[in-house]
A = this chain, B = another copy of it.
Amino acid sequence: MSWAALKPDRIEAVINMMVFDARGLVPVIAQRHDTGEVLMLAWMNAAAVRETLSTGRACYWSRSRQSLWRKGETSGHVQRLVDFRVDCDADAVLLLVEQEGPACHTNRPNCFFNVVRDGQLAVISEPIED
């Protein structure tokens, strides 16, 4: 499956209809296109949206490093873009992706592994062995 890169003017049209917050960011949900598993929540600024839509690979904005975060650039755990969706208020994004390897930096399949069980938070998944 491969993403048909958008032309630059089309990318700018998408960016122009999106609503970024005071920091210039939107929250982005990454979901596996095949199983529906929610993988992670991250952030994009306009430059990250531009790169994602032109390359077909998820690129976020790292709030901690204050720089573009090309997901999987060092780990190899890239997310290939299948669909890019914007919500009713245009201030949140849902990416459908093909995930290579684990999505979480803890090496778990997804980031949402702390779950309320028996009245308290429990860890429900283990890191994947390399």
Q: Is the CB of A114 within 8 A of B92?
A: no
By a beta-carbon cutoff of 8 Å, the part of chain A in contact with chain B is: 4, 6-7, 10, 13-14, 17, 27, 29, 31, 35-38, 40-41, 53, 83-90, 92, 94, 104-106, 108, 111-116, 119-121
A90/B114 contact (C-beta < 8 A), A29-B38, A31-B38, A36-B35 known: yes
Give the residue of B6, B27, B38, B119 whose beta carbon is less than 8 angstroms from that of A38: B38
Give the residue of B31, B53, B94, B105 whose beta carbon is less than 8 angstroms from that of A88: B105
Give the residue of B83, B92, B121 whose beta carbon is less than 8 angstroms from that of A41: B92
Q: Which residues of chain B come closer than 8 Å to A53, judged between CB atoms?
A: 116
A121/B36 contact (C-beta < 8 A), A53-B116, A112-B85 known: no
Measured in the bound complex, the distance between the Cα atoms of B49 and A116 in whole Å is 12
Give the residue of B37, B88, B90 whose beta carbon is less than 8 angstroms from that of A104: B88
Q: Is the CB of A14 within 8 A of B85?
A: no
Q: Is the CB of B29 within 8 A of A83?
A: no
